[in-house]
Amino acid sequence: MIIGLAAALLLSLAGNSYFLLKDGDKGKQEPNVSVAPQNEPLTSEKTMKLQAEPNVSGEATASLTKKGGNLNVVIQANNLKNVKGNEVYQVWLIKGDKPHPAGAFVTDKNGNGTVVYTMSQKEQTEKWDVMAITLEPNANNKTPKGNIVLSSAL
């Protein structure tokens, strides 16, 4: 009787494993995301220079690029003050008086840094007024804590 129960348990485990593995493949479907073909060119929608605030050294160029259905913000900053400790430069898209975080970066030893931020579908429909970069005491802020160092009207 014990041998029969063990055989039945073994058969049950084998059957369950088969169905779990078979159903597990269904869960591995790719999410419904618009992905541009690899050979589709990147389109530059808009490029602008961000202006340094008084008594701030550095410069930055921001480009809005599109590939497929995705709109990206690409910022290349140069000659900025090097960060210390947990400091980061954070990019903000601003509508009215409401800032929205759009990536952060840490400069290299020459004060250069880059950030690429892919906008959500909702963010792409917003009419942003200003793009700004602040020097923040730490990363992942929901609102700016530091001062604006570079900015541009959009």
Q: Give the domain ranges of the chain.
A: 43-153
pLDDT tens string 22-57: 554 455 444 444 555 567 787 888 999 999 999 999
Lowest mean pLDDT among 8-12, 46-50, 53-57, 119-123: 8-12
DSSP bridge partners of 44: 65
Cα(143)–Cα(99) distance, rounded to whole angstroms?
A: 6
* Angle at the Cα of 98 from the Cα atoms of 73 and 145, rounded to 5 degrees: 85
Using only C-alpha atoms, the chain has a radius of gyration, in whole angstroms, of 25
Instruction: Using alpha carbons, list the distances in angstroms from residue 38 to 45, 68, 101, 151.
Output: 19, 10, 28, 33
Tokens, residue 14: 């084998």
Q: What is the reported pLDDT for 69?
A: 83
* Domain covering 43-153 in this structure, CATH number: 2.60.40.200
pLDDT tens string 129-151: 999 999 999 988 899 999 999 99
